[in-house]
Structure 1
Amino acid sequence: MTFHCNSFSVTSEFRDCFDEVGSYSLSAARTIISQQKSYKYVNLEKNVSAQFQEILRYKFYSPSIALLDVSCTNATIVLEQASKLKYFNKTYQWLIIDENLNSNVLETLNSTMEIGLNSQILYINKTESNSYELYDVYSKGRHIGSPMNISFFAKWSYKKRLEKANELQEMREIIHRGQFNLLTLRGVIVIDKDNITTNEQVFKLLQAEDYKSVGLFSMIKYASELVKVISDRLNFTIDYRVTRGWAGRLQNTSYRLGLMGVVQRGEVDIAASPSFLRISRIKDLDFYHQSWIFEAGFIYVYSNLVKHKSGGGDFLAPFNHNVWIFSLISFIFIIAKGNQMVITDSVLLQSVAVICQQGLDPAPKKPAIRIVVFSLILFSLLMYNYYTSSVVGGLISNNDPGIKDLEELAKSRLTLIFEDIGYNKVVMTEPTNRSIVMKIRKKFFSQSYTSYELDGYTTLSKAISYIRAGTHAYHCEFIPHYDEIAKIFDPNEICNLRTITGLLKHETLAMVLTKKSQYLEMFKIILTRAREVGIVKRELKRIQNSRPKCQGALTVSPVAMASVLNAFIILMGKSDIFKMEVSHFEKFLILFSWCYNFIDYCWTRNFLG
């Protein structure tokens, strides 16, 4: 693209100058100058300010050249519009031609606030000796008081031709532009804690060993370490601004709140916090460097409160109900047929005796009947061995996963509590069409708490005793809290630890910057290099914690009352235990078992409110 006026023409000296410039970034410009043509010409004799944005977006799908003749009347308007709309960036290679010996274009550029670290401006000035001097122009941040840097690149003349002081590509890389000389950048950080306003307070929290207990989240700690890597490499300091949350909007407006709003409006230069990458945010923000894996859900301990949810129990589980019925009918039919008896209580008792390896009374006399009875006793022995081995093996393996998903959790008797952090409050209050979220909300807001010390939104240190008791499910980000759980839980409790995900999406968070930020490219390069040399991995390993491993090779769970309820029903007989011919001691044992199960059930229900 060429911005010119009616009197604009390319001199032969200027063409010869560009024929000898060896930089790849100027290859398109050499074509424009030598062939006297461009993709699009813009006549500066006309007013271009109204349609400036459409002009620069005209069929450009890759880095483009913008050639500006500053001798034209409206050239300063082009510079002002390019500054206002942030077109001094890496997408546009600006070639500013100044053939007037007394031009004030440098003063105009110096007053331009949007010339930044990623500016690609080559200023070409004609001297009194008919030679051309080429300068690379950029700034580390005019908005924070950094001066404009004008670095000499090369000089061209007829006698000495092109004399390069440096390679232009190297001058625009981090090796030349990566020294900020203790310049102070504006930063923002999320700290959900009262009375944190000064930079000294922020750095004191960031340097604290027990940062989790003072309102600083692990993802913020990690992001601040990445910011420190960037600041150490570029040699700048940070003046932090504190927000209490990440996002939100002013009611019935598009005005963003929290860290996202501050970054979107360009009020800061760097953010020490990762963020969810949402489609609705891409048009307003730039994202870079994804490394923090966010996984949140409910943590609970597998206890009797969870086991009660199965209802009927597992007493008959080793065999299908059809197998039990068919086997019992076969025993009764064969014994009745063999003894030529009518099916009565005596036959039923004889069948149970054969199953329990007690034989028959009276003993059969015919050899054929004895062979049949012997076969039945042998068959019952095999069934008995398989049944006992299945029950014992099932108890030892302990394969019961507990509550499988949010649907079961919403129906369970566990009390739901949440970590006191912004995204949990958002997911529990923002409008949604997800039915499972509505069920969790209904359960959460209908709960009543028996302890005034524990609120619905709380910290892990306050909730951990309730989690250990197996009565509460705590929603939080898993990774930051595993170390505290490993310190307090015993090995059996760690083996019984369960998690349920699904309320929040499992994703990798990204660092965030203002849209078209001048520092984006440089920050990307530094953190990419930090990932390659292992610095990012070291910080992740230091701050993130893996789930504590179950130390017990075999964990045996005690049999709950619900699992043997069917056995007690069988013992009761047809209607009432007092109609059975059992001893008073046996009656006492059955009544005691019933009363114990009833008291245990009532206690857990009352504890949950």
Structure 2
Amino acid sequence: MKIFQFGLISILCALRAFSGLKVDHVIELVVDVVKSTDKATSVIAHVCWRSSKQIKMMTRLMSLYNPKTVQFVNKYWIATEPMFQERVLVITDLNCPETKEFLEKASSTKKFALPYRWLIIGKPINESSAAAVSIEIDSLNFLTDSDVVLAQMKDDDSFILRMAYKMKPNSTWITEKFGTWSPQDGLKKTELTHSSISTRRKNFDGAPIKTAMVILDNKTRSDPYDLTDILADTVTKSSFRSTDPIYGYLNATKSFIFSETWGYYKNGTYGGMVAELTVGDAELAGTVLIATQDRMEVVDFLSCPIPISVKFVFREPPLSYQNNLFLLPFKTSVWYCMGAFVLVLTLILYINALWEHKKLEKNKMNEMDPTALKPNISEIVILVLSAVSQQGSYTELKGTLGRIVMFILFLAFLLLYSAYSASIVALLQSSSNQIRTLSDLLNSRLELGVEDTPYNRYFFGIASEPIRKAIYQTKIAPEGRKARFMSIEQGVKKLQKEPFAFNMNKGIGYRLVERYFHEHEKCGLQEIAYLDDTKTYITCRKHSPYKEMFKIGLFRIKEHGLSDREDRLIYARKPACHARGGSFGSVNMVDFHPVLVMYLYGIMLAFLLLAIEILAHRKIDFQR
């Protein structure tokens, strides 16, 4: 009996020692896996081990070179979002009773996606079945962006480590051999782990990638590559041609979903292409999208294949559209000097006329001479004005000194008149460079028009910034008048013939400019952006498991110059100016309307003076 008791105690001690050894091996496995990452790691463990073993694992991990933190959690940790997610390594043991529930909650909260890393310690499986996984996780979905290592113990206390994932939810498992671990040799990783997850799992094996595209012309549906009509769906064609190589890179087939608009936030929902991405019908967008704050919350922005720019384009208007040409020939200081010169000459003429009048006042013939300049301020002013306007005067000074003064007077204003006239001729052919901001555009005399596209109608309509809102309400869509949205061809033709600013896709607009404009008309083209940032991106569904694969593929396409090739093939650059001043335009009403206004004021003043003179004479006659 004592021998039996002793044997039973020995067996129990052996089993306890064996169990402790197993856990110790698991601890060493965890330590080696953490050590192999060679970076700061936050270990989050969901295990049912004894406290002594947990303390031992924590001690071993904290002794490593790189900073480590260790946290033991229950199943409710899933509801939290830890900081520095890229450092998190979650460890769990399938032998624990709550592990299955823990994993199911993790799957429902997308914690198997990057950047989380997982180490799941499981039970031994049949090694000959390379695609098999433990039944506890068979219903879970570890997709292509998961970093989950399954550690399964073998009979010799060693572990085989595999990474398992699915291309799509509820599809078959695909496994990768991560490495092996044994008490003698430690962790030995395979060469497969030297490459990133996104590059080694990029083979879709012909599976379709649903791509959402914006199509405004039905002809584009059958052949997005067709450039026969380059003005139809240009943005979609350029985007698709720039991203099409990604299907070959991923070994995937194309599957398209067509929309008539990009998709905008209205009444709490999205429409168009964005809606296809948000509800999960499409994984990738085949048409570029302008980045906005509300869109960033529902889709992921990947790459900018072709920089599409939308701006107001206009020819520099004639200088008369911004300034009064008749005030520009001289600087303000010159005008002041001319005014002072006129006053000085008027004073000199008055003194000279007064001196001649006193000198010759005894000569009755001189008094009867109507051409002699009298010391009368009104006659002197008329003489000076006739000199300024290069007109003659029937009155003059008779003396030698007086004649010299009059010669200087007419000569000085002859030279000033010549300089002024020459400047006016040059200014009539000059253009204004004063329109540089949206505020300048709003206050200018230029008419404004906008290319008729869904995104322009949306972004112009929701403008809330005062200047942009005023542009839309006063120059684009004034109340009671038809909004000035037009085709790009119509807008470019109007841009050629009129003082007009047209908001358009520059790449296509400049292609039409090269087609219709004469060489001298290509000079002086200016641009002003209505939106702060119109940079466009290829997007994908939010939290798509293929996001990194798409991103890498798109960057490879760009690095190989394929996007740049499509950009140069479809879009045109701003035309160079080779013939500035090659043509002269006729003077129009805007150029000389200040003269007409002055003439009108002169006529009104003349009639006013006539009325005053008539009233004055009547008063004198009445007093007599």
TM norm. shorter chain > 0.5:
yes
Aligned-pair distance for 1:207? 0.6
Match of 2:227 in 1: 209
Q: How does 1:185-196 map to 2 (within 5 A)?
A: 185-193=209-217
For residues 101 and 417 of structure 2, the distance between their equivalents in structure 1, rounded to whole angstroms, comes to 96
Match of 1:23 in 2: 36
The structure-2 alpha-carbon separation of the partners of 1:570 and 1:162, relative to structure 1 and needing over 3 Å to count, comes to: closer
Match of 2:252 in 1: 236
Task: Specify which of 54, 76, 101 is matched with residue 77 of structure 1.
Answer: 101
Task: Verify: 1:422 aligned to 2:468, yes or no.
Answer: no
For residues 451 and 598 of structure 2, the distance between their equivalents in structure 1, rounded to whole angstroms, comes to 47
For residues 36 and 329 of structure 1, the distance between their equivalents in structure 2, rounded to whole angstroms, comes to 97
CA contact (8 A) 1:513 1:520 kept: yes
The C-alpha deviation readout for 1:43-87, integer Å capped at 9, x for no partner, is 4xxxx2x65222xx2454542111110112222222222222111
Match of 1:379 in 2: 412
Percent of aligned pairs with the same amino acid? 20
Task: Specify which of 282, 298, 313 is matched with residue 312 of structure 2.
Answer: 298
Aligned-pair distance for 1:188? 0.8
Q: How does 1:92-241 map to 2 (within 5 A)?
A: 92-100=116-124, 105-113=133-141, 115-142=142-169, 145=171, 147-157=172-182, 164-170=189-195, 172-174=197-199, 176-193=200-217, 202=221, 204=223, 206-214=224-232, 216-218=233-235, 220-241=236-257
Match of 2:11 in 1: none
For residues 281 and 437 of structure 2, the distance between their equivalents in structure 1, rounded to whole angstroms, comes to 42
SS in 1 for 2:244: helix
Q: How does 1:482-493 map to 2 (within 5 A)?
A: 482-493=510-521
Match of 1:599 in 2: none
For residues 25 and 261 of structure 1, the distance between their equivalents in structure 2, rounded to whole angstroms, comes to 41
The structure-2 alpha-carbon separation of the partners of 1:8 and 1:408, relative to structure 1 and needing over 3 Å to count, comes to: farther
Aligned-pair distance for 1:120? 0.5
For residues 541 and 525 of structure 1, the distance between their equivalents in structure 2, rounded to whole angstroms, comes to 23
For residues 578 and 284 of structure 1, the distance between their equivalents in structure 2, rounded to whole angstroms, comes to 72
Match of 1:505 in 2: 532
For residues 528 and 573 of structure 1, the distance between their equivalents in structure 2, rounded to whole angstroms, comes to 68
For residues 85 and 32 of structure 2, the distance between their equivalents in structure 1, rounded to whole angstroms, comes to 27
Task: Specify which of 22, 25, 29 is matched with residue 13 of structure 1.
Answer: 25
Which residue identity is paired with 2:329? P
Match of 2:581 in 1: 554
Task: Specify which of 411, 426, 437 is matched with residue 393 of structure 1.
Answer: 426
Aligned-pair distance for 1:106? 3.2
CA contact (8 A) 1:335 1:350 kept: no
SS in 1 for 2:256: strand
For residues 602 and 153 of structure 2, the distance between their equivalents in structure 1, rounded to whole angstroms, comes to 112
Which residue identity is paired with 2:37? Y
Match of 1:318 in 2: 329
SS in 2 for 1:128: coil
Q: How does 1:206-285 map to 2 (within 5 A)?
A: 206-214=224-232, 216-218=233-235, 220-249=236-265, 251=267, 254-285=268-299
For residues 523 and 480 of structure 2, the distance between their equivalents in structure 1, rounded to whole angstroms, comes to 28
The structure-2 alpha-carbon separation of the partners of 1:573 and 1:364, relative to structure 1 and needing over 3 Å to count, comes to: farther
The C-alpha deviation readout for 1:120-164, integer Å capped at 9, x for no partner, is 111111123432111122233336x5x321012323345666554
Gaps of 5+ in 2: 1-18, 46-55, 63-68, 355-373, 608-624
The structure-2 alpha-carbon separation of the partners of 1:381 and 1:284, relative to structure 1 and needing over 3 Å to count, comes to: same
Aligned-pair distance for 1:97? 0.5
CA contact (8 A) 1:301 1:497 kept: yes
Q: Please, what TM-score do these two structures have when normalized by structure 1?
A: 0.76
Match of 2:91 in 1: 67
Aligned-pair distance for 1:209? 0.8
The C-alpha deviation readout for 1:453-509, integer Å capped at 9, x for no partner, is xx843322344444433176433222332101210122243336554443x233422
Match of 1:40 in 2: 71
- Please identify, of 433-442 and 83-92, the stretch whose mean Cα deviation from structure 2 is larger: 433-442
The structure-2 alpha-carbon separation of the partners of 1:483 and 1:108, relative to structure 1 and needing over 3 Å to count, comes to: farther
CA contact (8 A) 2:397 2:403 kept: yes
CA contact (8 A) 1:230 1:523 kept: yes
SS in 2 for 1:266: coil
Task: Verify: 1:481 aligned to 2:481, yes or no.
Answer: no
CA contact (8 A) 1:180 1:236 kept: yes
CA contact (8 A) 1:299 1:498 kept: yes
CA contact (8 A) 1:291 1:508 kept: no
For residues 28 and 314 of structure 2, the distance between their equivalents in structure 1, rounded to whole angstroms, comes to 76
CA contact (8 A) 1:96 1:121 kept: yes
The C-alpha deviation readout for 1:268-320, integer Å capped at 9, x for no partner, is 211112223233333333222245445434345567xx877558x42243234
Task: Specify which of 539, 542, 560 is matched with residue 515 of structure 1.
Answer: 542
The structure-2 alpha-carbon separation of the partners of 1:85 and 1:500, relative to structure 1 and needing over 3 Å to count, comes to: same
For residues 178 and 540 of structure 1, the distance between their equivalents in structure 2, rounded to whole angstroms, comes to 27
Which residue identity is paired with 1:42? V
CA contact (8 A) 2:125 2:134 kept: no
- Please identify, of 436-445 and 410-419, the stretch whose mean Cα deviation from structure 2 is larger: 410-419
CA contact (8 A) 2:320 2:590 kept: yes
Task: Verify: 1:52 aligned to 2:39, yes or no.
Answer: no
Match of 1:452 in 2: none
The structure-2 alpha-carbon separation of the partners of 1:470 and 1:108, relative to structure 1 and needing over 3 Å to count, comes to: farther
Aligned CA-pair RMSD: 3.9
CA contact (8 A) 1:25 1:93 kept: no
CA contact (8 A) 2:319 2:428 kept: no
SS in 2 for 1:156: strand
For residues 362 and 140 of structure 1, the distance between their equivalents in structure 2, rounded to whole angstroms, comes to 105
Aligned-pair distance for 1:228? 1.6
Aligned-pair distance for 1:378? 4.1
Match of 1:90 in 2: 114
Q: How does 1:349-388 map to 2 (within 5 A)?
A: 349-355=382-388, 364=397, 366-388=399-421
Match of 2:349 in 1: 335
For residues 598 and 291 of structure 2, the distance between their equivalents in structure 1, rounded to whole angstroms, comes to 59
Which residue identity is paired with 1:24? T
SS in 2 for 1:479: helix
How many equivalent residue pairs?
A: 542
The C-alpha deviation readout for 1:341-375, integer Å capped at 9, x for no partner, is 33366434532454467787676554544443444
Task: Verify: 1:461 aligned to 2:489, yes or no.
Answer: yes
The structure-2 alpha-carbon separation of the partners of 1:8 and 1:350, relative to structure 1 and needing over 3 Å to count, comes to: farther
SS in 2 for 1:39: strand
For residues 343 and 434 of structure 1, the distance between their equivalents in structure 2, rounded to whole angstroms, comes to 58
For residues 506 and 339 of structure 2, the distance between their equivalents in structure 1, rounded to whole angstroms, comes to 47
Which residue identity is paired with 1:419? E
For residues 439 and 27 of structure 1, the distance between their equivalents in structure 2, rounded to whole angstroms, comes to 54
Q: Please, what TM-score do these two structures have when normalized by structure 2?
A: 0.74
Aligned-pair distance for 1:263? 1.7
The structure-2 alpha-carbon separation of the partners of 1:295 and 1:334, relative to structure 1 and needing over 3 Å to count, comes to: farther
Aligned-pair distance for 1:41? 1.1
Gaps of 5+ in 1: 1-6, 450-454, 580-609
The structure-2 alpha-carbon separation of the partners of 1:94 and 1:310, relative to structure 1 and needing over 3 Å to count, comes to: closer
Structure number with greater Rg is: 2
CA contact (8 A) 1:415 1:447 kept: no
